[in-house]
Structure 1
Amino acid sequence: MEPREKRLVFPFSAIVGQEKAKLALLAVAVNPLIGGVLLKGDKGTGKSTLVRALANVLPEIEVVADCPFNCNPKNPLEMCDSCYERYENGEELPIAKRKMRVVDLPLSVTIDRLVGTVDVERFLKEGKKALQPGILAEANRGVLYIDEVNLLDDYIADSLLDAAAMGWNTIEREGISFRHPARFILVGSMNPEEGELRPQILDRFGLCVEVSAPMNPEERIEIVKRVEEFHEDPISFYKKYESEEKKLTERIVKAREILPKVEISDDLLKLLAETVVNLGIKTNRAEIATIKTAKAIAALNGRRRVSLEDLEKAMELALPHRLRDRPFQNPPQMRPPKPKDDSKQDHDHKGDHKHEHKKEEKSERRNQESRSQGIGNLEQNFRSSEAKIPRIESKNFDGSEFTGYRSSRDVSVTVVNFPKGIPVSYVPPKGEIRDVDFYNSVICAMLNGKKPPIKLDLNDLRVRVRKAKAPTLWVLLLDSSGSMAVQKRISIAKGIAEKLVENGYIKKSKMALIVAKGNQAEIFVPPTKNYWEVLEKIESVPTGGRTPLSSALYNLLLLANRERMKDRSVKVRAFLITDGKANVPLFGKRIKEEITELARVLKKRDIELTVYDTRGRGINPGLSYVPILERVAGAKVHKV
């Protein structure tokens, strides 16, 4: 069956272009300790094809034949508890050769399936507690592939990160204590338009590559021809590239043999460290991943010494995704390192770095958000707008700088009989059974007097109670009417809106933007996790015209209803940035009556409203409807 599986996968060597992505994948195949690869790019650019094709060129590994964890029979440090006990007792472990596998991690995976759980069948028949291995066991010493990794649930990602960082999966649950190695090549792919990755997960990937479709017509024509040929006759197409695939496998095997002997000079190490410092990268994983990658590239080329070219290629793969200090910051431009030829050049080079470092310190004191040149216009506008935001005051505000919502406890929900979230308890089922707690069901059966082998009935079954993160929607309502142009209120409003987008990114909330201007409000951005799009729309919002506040609140209600039709558990938070004035009725009624009625519905629909009142201190002519929203809708009001 194995040769047939190979032919059904598009050959790695037949992929046109994408040389950086290929190099990154081959490097981690040589040295999995690099920490994995993240492929970022638009849909249809061949990210999944690259990863699945990698399986064809991965070499065979030796494993303990009767162990489900793919333990290394020659290294006790890479053995599970059971194999290590056998090894210590002097037992000769059976050895088998097996291809490295690419294991897919589905987005719908449960925590039990990921880390492992109780073997229910054995427990029911024999009454013994045994472990049923999870996906981390299957992926040990192989490749764990997560498509759309940015959409992975937080609690799953946290467990995955723990295993990836430690190299071990420790299972402590339901009376079972077990540990097995979980040393896998972590490969993820994502489309940035669907949302960004959490910084903690992003830093776990040793390498990151931007994958884009080639803009050369000849290359695109060649891609079409090869794909058509593969679809017409996969077997013949694979045979055409079979020799190239074998050469790649042999190259990886040879590189693994050379890798322990590869050396890097102190000059290159110093050059790398200086470059990382000058770029303002704080994590030590930057240098570690770069050195390991440079050595792997040298080994792939059959050399035992890292060259400057190897280091440059490694830096292009390991550093770009670590350049941002904060969300939505355009990273500084990377400059290729220059070798030092003699002591004079070395002295001059040091002087240059000292001079640059002093300049960076001055810049750091002026503005901590930028460390070097190359920050884009969007970030400069963001900083200039943010600088204009004065301190915000309110009844329930502590007087510190505006930071948005930092606690995520208020968006967690308790779910019963639903396989998402962290298990906290169990209860008897009501209605359809979807999330059975087998272990506690068996315990209940035994407490009811049943003995192994146990046959469960409906009275014995229990379903899990879980804590899960509720999906959230943050709606920004931006007043850009003519009155907001007074005293540059719109600049302050846009600065607040951009800060809210940054906090929404941290909380992984969906964002939407409604703009109140002219005769009616308009939904500028429907609910999305493409935070860059929201920022760009905020920047481009024009100012002028009348203030349709009623229309903005009505659009908010419509938006919330649509999202809750998809998922009833959605928590909706609205942030209204306005001077509180309104002069356009929605239904032909008096504006005060309309806003009072809409505010009452907002409270009834459990939509949490926060108002940022941009009116300055002193005399403000004209009626403000902010007090009505505070009194009727229960809005939290922050005075700017």
Structure 2
Amino acid sequence: MSTPFPFTAVVGMDDLRLALLLNAVSPAVGGVLVRGEKGTAKSTAVRALSALMPEVDVVAGCRFSCDPASPDPRCPDGPHESGPGTPRPARMVELPVGASEDRLVGALDIERALSEGVKAFEPGLLADAHRGVLYVDEVNLLHDHLVDLLLDAAAMGASYVEREGVSVRHAARFLLVGTMNPEEGELRPQLLDRFGLTVEVAASREPESRVEVVRRRLAYDDDPAGFAARWAGEETALRERIVTARALLPEVRLGDAALLQIAATCAAFEVDGMRADIVMARTATALAAWAGRTDVLAEDVRQAALLALPHRRRRNPFDAPGLDEDKLDDTLEEFKGEDDDPEPDGPGDGGGPGDGGGGPAPDSGSDAPEDSGSGEGDAPGESPRPGTGGPGGGEQAAVQAGEPYRTKTLSVPGLGEGAAGRRSRARTEHGRTTGSRRPRGALTKLHLAATVQAAAPHQRARGRSGTGLVIRKDDLRQATREGREGNLVLFVVDASGSMAAKRRMSAVKGAVLSLLLDAYQRRDKVGLVTFRGKDAEVALPPTSSVDAAAARLESLPTGGRTPLAAGLLKAHDVLRVERLRDPARRPLLVVVTDGRATGGADPVALAARAARLHASEGTASVVVDCESGIVRLGLAGTLAGDLEGTCITLDELRADSIAGLVRDVQGAQGAHGTQGVQGNRRRAA
């Protein structure tokens, strides 16, 4: 086993180190989510924590790490009798992003089941992590089915396995630590709330600090053991301080004044549920124990709020995490109680990296959504200037998007084999079992019943004796399963002069923002192509970061001609590259336009040919018709016919619209022209 980088040798990142140490003192805090850009030593700091965790006593020979003082009565390796146990280091178990469900929760031991005819359970990573740390690097990229299993285990403190004739329950209480780069997409809110604390990390901009980071890293890479030996004294002292704080923790008093401040703070920031209050209380208590005190002070409550609330106050995925510290201070001052003693009554109040006394964490965001740099420009833009809707129209400043709303479900027809997600039907490794087949290549999901059924008629001919089945390779059957996949949703947005009216563009941006929110919830990749003036541009290459797409949309200016063909051709280029890069992920083209095409010799014919190019390659398409007014030309419907897709209006896009239809792209396959599209509008899914 390689020598881990010493925790005390990590440069800076006081908030991260403090959050990890508080969880080491009190695992009930509930773990840490570490958010930050790539290359900021997030994983290094987390892995270094394992060497500081105190040892745990386990029942000898128990694969599920039962506590000998209070063994689990339902342990699969039990029953155990209370008594002295065997000490061992606390484990840090890493969950790979691409892990299988069997590897996480465990499964039937197929080899023993087929050869010996017995039901034997093979534990998974949740069993290994019991009473230790479960670490997930790039946790935001974790597949949905694994997220669901983690949520269940974290909520119940146990893992339940009901599959393939196996019924097992075992304890699974672990410290959940995850790292993520927000540029690669956000976490589902349910999992986000399961992390007790969150910290934002970023590389230092101070040259001296960066030099020290490089110097220490090079020294470690040259001689890991020697480097660790030079920090052994600091590591030992920190480990002893953790043990001392753990021993003091039961004696810490959380007074009524501190509890009132905690409750008032959570209410002031409008966090959902009561988990935030509980986590803040546990964190403030751990902070007091870490500082060597037996009373929780206002400074502990403040620090606890900065660690426990930023990720919980987000109202939607496009809100920046963070707290308004002025509002926090005002709330704490307003609800300051009489028993809040400003004088510390124990050692450890001095400053220092990660010791709880070095002041609040840096502000990780603002309380209001970030300005995307659009420049707003709303005051002079009540209506487009003369000529903006036609040739040579001027450019309008960006306008704010309308309020997002829940949209109808748009999906790709057929059965795909793409990445796990929540949009379209797909053959997946996880989902409901729909049948079996002979394996093509390596066997990944055994269909046990089908395998036994295939082997059963041949047992006498194969000379079977005893309880085990005689299984041959030809008998093996692969389970076929159906679930949902994530798609590549490529938005092609008309930003020309005909769309430049402030009210209309606000509604269009609100619609696209709503679709982006839907894409976030369904685990899609998204891309953004815009067209106006003389050409089209890729405003955002396909990415998993919906936040980035929302920011580009917010700053989108409008004006000029309507090069619709250029937008469609640019989208075709993007999809062609993505098919080579990720061939299993099926695309969904969403064109947001009023259907007009201007500029060039024959813009309408060019747009029709570009649309038919998408149709010839089987790209599923939706046209969101933005045309308004009493007289309507129906050009968006014609475009949808050329795309062999479907056409919906902005009003119909809403899930709660009067039409009340749940629309599937499949309904438009084979529909051509305006007449076919209008027929699709009338047909309920």
Gapped regions of structure 1 (runs ≥ 5): 346-371, 390-400
**What residue is the counterpart of 1:115 in the other structure?**
105
Distance 2:77 2:110 in 1: 23
SS of residue matched to 1:85: coil
SS of residue matched to 2:558: coil
One-letter amino acid matched to 2:244: K
CA 1:258–1:433 in structure 2 vs 1: closer, same or farther (change >3 Å)?
same
Distance 1:376 1:557 in 2: 32
**What residue is the counterpart of 1:139 in the other structure?**
129
Distance 2:220 2:400 in 1: 53
Distance 1:9 1:161 in 2: 29
**What residue is the counterpart of 2:28 in the other structure?**
33
Contact 2:94/2:135 (8 A) holds in 1: yes
One-letter amino acid matched to 2:598: N
The answer to whether structure 1 residue 81 and structure 2 residue 94 are counterparts is: no
- What are the Cα deviations for residues 344-368 of structure 1, in whole angstroms up to 9, with x where unaligned? x9xxxxxxxxxxxxxxxxxxxxxxx
Distance 1:246 1:438 in 2: 51
- What are the Cα deviations for residues 179-208 of structure 1, in whole angstroms up to 9, with x where unaligned? 111011100000000001111110000000
Contact 2:492/2:528 (8 A) holds in 1: yes
Instruction: Give runs of aligned pairs for residues 203-282 of structure 1, distance below 5 A.
Output: 203-282=193-272
Distance 1:192 1:602 in 2: 32
Identity fraction in percent: 38
Contact 1:511/1:529 (8 A) holds in 2: yes
**Higher mean Cα deviation, 560-569 or 546-555?**
560-569
CA 1:15–1:445 in structure 2 vs 1: closer, same or farther (change >3 Å)?
same
SS of residue matched to 2:590: strand
CA 1:531–1:409 in structure 2 vs 1: closer, same or farther (change >3 Å)?
closer
**What residue is the counterpart of 1:429 in the other structure?**
438
One-letter amino acid matched to 1:223: V
2:624 to 609, 612, 633: 612
**What residue is the counterpart of 2:635 in the other structure?**
625
**What residue is the counterpart of 1:403 in the other structure?**
407
One-letter amino acid matched to 1:459: D
**Higher mean Cα deviation, 438-447 or 243-252?**
438-447
**What residue is the counterpart of 2:538 in the other structure?**
523
CA 1:439–1:251 in structure 2 vs 1: closer, same or farther (change >3 Å)?
farther
Distance 2:84 2:481 in 1: 41
Instruction: Give runs of aligned pairs for residues 532-547 of structure 1, distance below 5 A.
Output: 532-547=547-562
- What are the Cα deviations for residues 440-462 of structure 1, in whole angstroms up to 9, with x where unaligned? 43564345424544442122101
**What residue is the counterpart of 2:568 in the other structure?**
553
- What are the Cα deviations for residues 317-374 of structure 1, in whole angstroms up to 9, with x where unaligned? 111111112221245513232376777x9xxxxxxxxxxxxxxxxxxxxxxxxxx974
TM superposition score normalised by structure 1:
0.85
Instruction: Give runs of aligned pairs for residues 393-542 of structure 1, distance below 5 A.
Output: 403-405=407-409, 411-415=424-428, 420-422=429-431, 424-437=433-446, 439-440=448-449, 441-442=451-452, 444-446=454-456, 448-449=458-459, 450=464, 452-486=467-501, 488-542=503-557
SS of residue matched to 2:500: helix
Contact 2:133/2:176 (8 A) holds in 1: yes
Distance 1:627 1:436 in 2: 45
Contact 2:528/2:538 (8 A) holds in 1: yes
Deviation at 1:299, TM superposition (A): 1.7
Distance 1:183 1:615 in 2: 56
SS of residue matched to 1:16: coil
Contact 1:38/1:208 (8 A) holds in 2: yes
Contact 2:529/2:537 (8 A) holds in 1: yes
**What residue is the counterpart of 2:614 in the other structure?**
602
Distance 1:232 1:199 in 2: 42
Distance 1:138 1:79 in 2: 18
SS of residue matched to 1:320: coil
CA 1:278–1:384 in structure 2 vs 1: closer, same or farther (change >3 Å)?
farther
Contact 1:308/1:339 (8 A) holds in 2: no
Instruction: Give runs of aligned pairs for residues 571-582 of structure 1, distance below 5 A.
Output: 571-582=586-597
1:56 to 39, 51, 76: 51
Distance 1:164 1:444 in 2: 39
TM superposition score normalised by structure 2:
0.79
CA 1:373–1:470 in structure 2 vs 1: closer, same or farther (change >3 Å)?
closer
Contact 2:439/2:476 (8 A) holds in 1: no
Instruction: Give runs of aligned pairs for residues 176-215 of structure 1, distance below 5 A.
Output: 176-215=166-205
CA 1:613–1:431 in structure 2 vs 1: closer, same or farther (change >3 Å)?
closer
Aligned residues, how many? 584
- What are the Cα deviations for residues 586-626 of structure 1, in whole angstroms up to 9, with x where unaligned? xx6x4443333333343343333222322222236xx6632
One-letter amino acid matched to 1:482: G
Deviation at 1:487, TM superposition (A): 6.2
CA 1:28–1:120 in structure 2 vs 1: closer, same or farther (change >3 Å)?
same
Contact 1:517/1:545 (8 A) holds in 2: yes
Distance 1:65 1:251 in 2: 28
CA 1:69–1:610 in structure 2 vs 1: closer, same or farther (change >3 Å)?
same
Distance 2:497 2:369 in 1: 31
Contact 2:69/2:84 (8 A) holds in 1: no
CA 1:341–1:414 in structure 2 vs 1: closer, same or farther (change >3 Å)?
closer
SS of residue matched to 1:228: helix
CA 1:387–1:320 in structure 2 vs 1: closer, same or farther (change >3 Å)?
same
Contact 2:140/2:180 (8 A) holds in 1: yes
**What residue is the counterpart of 2:663 in the other structure?**
none
The CA RMSD over aligned residues, in Å, is 2.8
**What residue is the counterpart of 1:593 in the other structure?**
605
One-letter amino acid matched to 1:258: L
CA 1:36–1:513 in structure 2 vs 1: closer, same or farther (change >3 Å)?
same
Gapped regions of structure 2 (runs ≥ 5): 341-365, 379-397, 412-420, 652-685
One-letter amino acid matched to 2:427: T
